Amino acid sequence: MMGKGSVPELLAPAGDEDCLAAAIAYGADAVYLGAKAFGMRAKAANFDPEGLERAARQCHKAGVKLYLTCNTLPRGREVDALPAFIRDARDAGVDALIIADLGVMMLAKRTAPNLPVHVSTQFGVVNKLTARELYNLGASRVVLARELTLEEIAEIRADTPSDLGIEAFVHGAMCVSVSGRCVLSNYMAERDANRGECAQPCRWTYALTESKRPDQHFPIYEEDGYSYILNSRDMRMIQHLDKLAAAGVDSLKIEGRAKKAYYVATITGAYRKALDLLQQDPEHFVLPDALLEETEKVSHRPYSTGFYLGDYPGQDTVRGGYLRHWELVATVDGWEDGTLLCTGRNRFLPGETLELLRPDGLPVPLPVTEIRDEEGNRLEAACHPMMKLRLPCAIPCPPGSMLRRKNSEA
């Protein structure tokens, strides 16, 4: 169940083909993604049947496993489409299905008996009894509920079959509801959270009303501003990977199938490097500041350690949105003879110093001495998204490297 060496598997999200390429390039041992149906991220691009086959080939060529989500709670006649969906997944070459519904799990075992089943966090596995029974029914892995402590995970690991994999989230958004089982979005927006369509009303701004003055709103204040009373902080466990491994976690899961490739690359790369350090000296693991800083360079809410250390994630009562201190300005298509071949994403100018993020190393500063277009003409600015650009760079860089910049207001 482990990834490289004796450290846990690093499992990264992929909402589209760009994210898939980033996850592979930046060191994921496995990738999880969704098809066009039965997945919990309806807003992600996801993968059609041909795209799923390509994804499986791409992963396996790189020695990376591919897990397909089938973790909605299907209703009514939707179940009629499940056998074909499962057979198509098997034929595409996926390495496991992630399933949240017991009936779907048993159908999958009958339809594709050799295809491993991972039980989704949506199932709410919080104890050894459930984990053991799911194993007896044919599950090869359980994705534990986010609400568990490290001590509780260790207890589950100690009293379940050794070949039952244990997976746990280590980074990303937290749901205000237990294991994501929430009906708030259904009630407020008629969008079913358990079918991949959550409107995230837990992160909206709310006010109070009084029955005799229904048109007058009374804001809920936290000191001088509105209070986001249901807005859970994000999870970050990169500095505690040794504790997760010691508790018996086999697979470390990064949340984010609705995120962009820059997020996937940055977070996957940071956790990959941290896990490599853990493998080198598991008894004296100390996270370098540079890797902790990497997690600050993507859009995120204030971080917490979730429930793992016996605390609560808490809410970010100040804002409903993200902290965005850094932005992607270009992606690297290649490098030749001291020149970066790039695709522009956001505007930047000669004279700026960007940061170069590579799959195979820590980020380094890159002064922009000049910018040229694809034909070699000098430009006063890189100002058109998706424009092909050429930048002087003495450092050889593989495709998939990225250029980013700290926001001026950060």
pLDDT for the residue numbered 392: 97
pLDDT for the residue numbered 43: 66
The domain made up of 9-174+234-302 has a fold known as: TIM Barrel (3.20.20)
Q: How far apart are CA 192 and CA 196, in angstroms?
A: 7
Q: How far apart are CA 20 and CA 28, in angstroms?
A: 10
pLDDT for the residue numbered 128: 98
In contact, 371 and 363? CB cutoff 8 Å:
no
pLDDT for the residue numbered 45: 75
pLDDT for the residue numbered 299: 95
Q: Which two tokens stand for residue 333?
A: 């298509």
Domain boundaries, the chain: 9-174+234-302, 326-406
pLDDT for the residue numbered 263: 97
Scored b (16 or more CB within 10 A) or e, 113-130 reads eebbbbbbbbbbbbbeeb
Q: Which two tokens stand for residue 361?
A: 């190393």
- The DSSP secondary-structure symbol of 60 reads H
pLDDT for the residue numbered 410: 55
The domain made up of 326-406 has a fold known as: Elongation Factor Tu (Ef-tu); domain 3 (2.40.30)
Q: Counting Cβ atoms within 10 Å, is residue 132 exposed (0-12), middle (13-18) or buried (19+)?
A: middle
pLDDT for the residue numbered 359: 94
Q: How far apart are CA 190 and CA 181, in angstroms?
A: 15
Ranges of the chain whose pLDDT falls below 70:
1-5, 40-44, 194-195, 221-227, 409-410
Task: Say if 9-174+234-302 and 326-406 have the same CATH topology.
Answer: no
Q: How far apart are CA 372 and CA 379, in angstroms?
A: 5
pLDDT in tens, 205-244: 777 888 888 888 777 765 555 667 788 899 999 999 999 9
pLDDT for the residue numbered 312: 87
pLDDT for the residue numbered 3: 58
pLDDT for the residue numbered 382: 94
pLDDT for the residue numbered 36: 86
